[in-house]
Structure 1
Amino acid sequence: MSDTMPSRSGSLGRFGGNKRNLVATGASVAVVVIAVAVAAVSLAEASAGPDRADVVAVAPSAVAAASGAPSASPSASPSAPASPSADASKPGTAGPERGAAAPEPVVPKTGWIAVDQAAWNAQVAAYKALSYEPVPAGVGNLPEFRADCEYSHSLPDDPIVAPGLPGASHMHSFFGNEGVDAGTGADDLVRFTATTCEPRQDHSSYWVPTLYDAATDKPAEPTGFRVYYRSLMSDSAGQLPMPNGLRMIAGDAKKKTPTPRGATGQFYCAYWEPGHDADGIARSTNGNWPICEKQAYLHYILQFPDCWDGKHLDSPNHKDHVAHGWNNACPASHPVKIPAITFDIQYGVQGSAAGYYLASDKDVRSASSMHGDAFVMWDVDVMNTRTKNCVEQRRTCDNHGYLK
């Protein structure tokens, strides 16, 4: 990591270089498509507990143009359209106030969401026309820029997996765009610019399953949430920026396997000190959670793919439109090299015998179901400039440009 991550509770310790490439990935998320009306999804079902991980209905909501202007497409809101024939001002005309049945709400559909090719082509042309800005002395050579975000709010919603279906998910902790709920589409991210992220030009929304203290069932919200946009390859040739409206999921919400000491995909103890044990000095009673020493706190690293198919902003399982590069190149099926998003999350807890559980797995109480969602929306000029100067030029940047 580049340097210290700020948080609401104070500065966080730098994450040691030996964990820099830690990747928390899981098997592909199994996605269940439900063909039911929104009206049939009751609050009783939604309150069945945090194990309702992946009730799915994806809406092809409006995709914001790369210029940042909202498109004319309808949003993912499940609000019912007005009846074209009803006129309440005329006697005998059927209308809601005269007892007529309201129109059935539109059920969001799952599937592929195409990128606006004209907008994307315009963004790429503007990106390629940019020249590198001069690099001040002392700037490092880590090809990355970042956004530091604070916790915003929690909801049992998922605007990527279950758009338009409030309460259909397990509890999530949201960061970044403050107006996000189940009905949020790309056009809403453009309009709702209030954010907990720095820089303010990042209007994206990021979320993860809420972490709970197993002893009290109370949430333990992150005290630091840093989002890196970086190159995972040793060569930045052909690098392009991130398209606005891109939606991705990393990890597997359905995975429920133990995470003992040494397991992949576990939480770790972060503290910058020689000889520090990232796996903790002890484990919780069930062995799934580290207990940290001294000033170390629980952290989690979640890595997203760095290659895109160049055609779709989402896919039915929210993963097939992106892929991980290999041997410093993207596969032919996903030829567009984009910055890789990395979540670096700190929780203000140090571990305990009782341990913790994620909203996506209250039964096994392991860390294996940890996952994250990214719904990308930046000021396009800032995205282009940061990608050009920091990722393509392979220079270390912070929230505002070159890290000096």
Structure 2
Amino acid sequence: MVPWFSFLALAAVAHGQGRGGGGSAMLRFGCSNIVIDRVDPLVTPGQVPSPHVHQIVGGNAFNASMPADTDISKLATCTSCTFTEDLSNYWTASVYFKARNGSYKRVPQMPNDAIGAANGGVTVYYTASGKGQSTAFKPGFRMFSGDANRRVSTGLGRNTQSCFRCYTGPNFQGNVQSPCFDPKLDTEGFPATPCPGGIRSSVIFPVCWDGKNLDTPNHIDHVAHPVGGPASFAVTNGKCPSSHPVKIPQVHLEIVWDTSKFNNKADWPADGSQPLVLSNGDNLGYSQHGDYVFGWQGDSLQRAMDNGCFAASCAAANLKTQAFPAANKCVVQKAVHEDHDGWVKQLPGTEMANMPMA
């Protein structure tokens, strides 16, 4: 297996990062789960429970009613991320296995490649083209990537903003090409066959901002893709449209699912169709989505983007870090008390009769 830092470095070179900017930046770091819960302060603020289950990482200010236009970094007292100045929150839909008998079990997460002893969680990337090329987010900034109602492919190929990688064996075998770039192992929807080493889900956010609104009602309209369309992994040097002229760092989330215990096709649906379903009821996978609430302290993220920071440390920007034994201690209490680990008759919050079928 090629080490993760090798293909990231190659991706940066291939995409022309760092031109005219004093060196590209690409943070890549882990954040443990702070809670598995059915709350969503972006899409359904204040609603308990919200429609479907998420895994949430980051600062402990997370709750169902996080106030808008507020500096979250001043409300949180700890973070589950290895960069201690990142008190942001990130969350995505969970994945469930649907057995032949119709019951469901949440697929457990596992730490991503070269991350360390995280408690499941999310791997977070921030990428910028070089010093002065990207403007860090402002306190109160929020955004959403994806479409929870999508049930068809976007047809974007390597520029897709959400994909799944099917690992060919234990210890992340097959993890060679950049995210969403492998024509055989990366798919926009759920893989159709068992994945011996598990499945990684990627979600990529837009890289252009209108420079005015910290959020919009749908959490999407204040951000945009470059004029040439959605940018693929590690591409941040595209031209932004005049409506959204401010370049922002590319945020990219990765979640790894340990599907190895669910690979016996005798347990799959009788028709042989793949058995995975997102917690919002999508058994195709096209609706995987991500939510983001900015919470870096002070100018720490801007310093990281301007100083060519790479991977999980940044001495040049004097960013502070913590090990996972400390990060794993940052948790929040569940707002909805329901079983997220055992077998259940239906998806939490989703009536089986209303589930979309392939």
Question: What is the total number of aligned residue pairs between the two structures?
Answer: 265
2:301 alignment partner, SS class: helix
CA contact (8 A) 2:27 2:312 kept: yes
1:198 and 2:75 are equivalent in the alignment: no
CA contact (8 A) 1:258 1:367 kept: no
Distance in 2 of aligned mates of 1:248 and 1:274: 29
Distance in 2 of aligned mates of 1:241 and 1:188: 15
Q: Deviations over 1:89-128 (max 9, x none)?
A: xxxxxxxxxxxxxxxxxxxxxxxxxxxxxxxxxxxxxxxx
CA contact (8 A) 1:199 1:400 kept: no
1:181 and 2:35 are equivalent in the alignment: no
1:370 alignment partner, SS class: coil
**CA-based RMSD:** 3.9
Distance in 1 of aligned mates of 2:93 and 2:175: 32
Partner of 1:62: none
The partner residue of 2:34 within 140, 152, 157 is 152
Deviation at 1:184, TM superposition (A): 1.8
Alignment CA distance shift 1:269-1:143 (3 Å): same
Partner of 1:322: 223
1:302 and 2:203 are equivalent in the alignment: yes
Deviation at 1:179, TM superposition (A): 3.8
Distance in 2 of aligned mates of 1:379 and 1:274: 33
1:229 and 2:139 are equivalent in the alignment: no
Alignment CA distance shift 1:275-1:307 (3 Å): closer
Distance in 2 of aligned mates of 1:197 and 1:249: 20
CA contact (8 A) 2:190 2:276 kept: no
Identical columns (%): 28
Deviation at 1:288, TM superposition (A): 5.0
Deviation at 1:213, TM superposition (A): 1.6
Distance in 1 of aligned mates of 2:220 and 2:106: 28
Show the 5 A alignment for 1:184-333.
Answer: 184-185=66-67, 186-215=70-99, 217-224=104-111, 225-231=122-128, 238-257=133-152, 265-270=162-167, 271-273=172-174, 279=184, 288-293=191-196, 296-326=197-227, 328-333=238-243
1:375 and 2:293 are equivalent in the alignment: yes
Distance in 2 of aligned mates of 1:325 and 1:334: 9
1:366 and 2:250 are equivalent in the alignment: no
**Residue 148 of structure 2 aligns to which amino acid in structure 1?**
A
Alignment CA distance shift 1:190-1:4 (3 Å): farther
Distance in 1 of aligned mates of 2:123 and 2:300: 18
1:342 and 2:245 are equivalent in the alignment: no
TM-score by length of 1: 0.56
CA contact (8 A) 2:73 2:296 kept: no
2:36 alignment partner, SS class: strand
CA contact (8 A) 2:28 2:310 kept: no
**Residue 134 of structure 2 aligns to which amino acid in structure 1?**
Q
CA contact (8 A) 1:16 1:272 kept: no
**Residue 57 of structure 2 aligns to which amino acid in structure 1?**
F
Alignment CA distance shift 1:217-1:189 (3 Å): farther
Distance in 2 of aligned mates of 1:174 and 1:199: 16
Q: Deviations over 1:224-246 (max 9, x none)?
A: 32111113x6x765422222221
Deviation at 1:379, TM superposition (A): 1.0
More relative contact order, 1 or 2 (CA 8 Å, 6+ apart):
2
2:105 alignment partner, SS class: coil
Distance in 2 of aligned mates of 1:213 and 1:274: 23
Distance in 2 of aligned mates of 1:274 and 1:319: 31
Distance in 2 of aligned mates of 1:14 and 1:297: 20
**Residue 298 of structure 1 aligns to which amino acid in structure 2?**
I
What runs of 5+ residues in structure 1 fail to find an aligned partner?
6-12, 22-131, 136-140
CA contact (8 A) 1:256 1:361 kept: no
CA contact (8 A) 1:222 1:347 kept: yes
Distance in 1 of aligned mates of 2:293 and 2:175: 37
Distance in 2 of aligned mates of 1:157 and 1:149: 19
TM-score by length of 2: 0.63
The partner residue of 1:168 within 34, 45, 50 is 50
Alignment CA distance shift 1:300-1:278 (3 Å): farther
CA contact (8 A) 2:7 2:176 kept: no
Structure with bigger gyration radius: 1
1:202 alignment partner, SS class: coil
The partner residue of 1:143 within 25, 28, 34 is 25
Deviation at 1:378, TM superposition (A): 0.3
The partner residue of 1:357 within 246, 254, 277 is 277
Deviation at 1:252, TM superposition (A): 0.7
Distance in 2 of aligned mates of 1:237 and 1:187: 23
Deviation at 1:266, TM superposition (A): 4.2
Deviation at 1:159, TM superposition (A): 0.5
Partner of 1:384: 302
Deviation at 1:167, TM superposition (A): 0.9
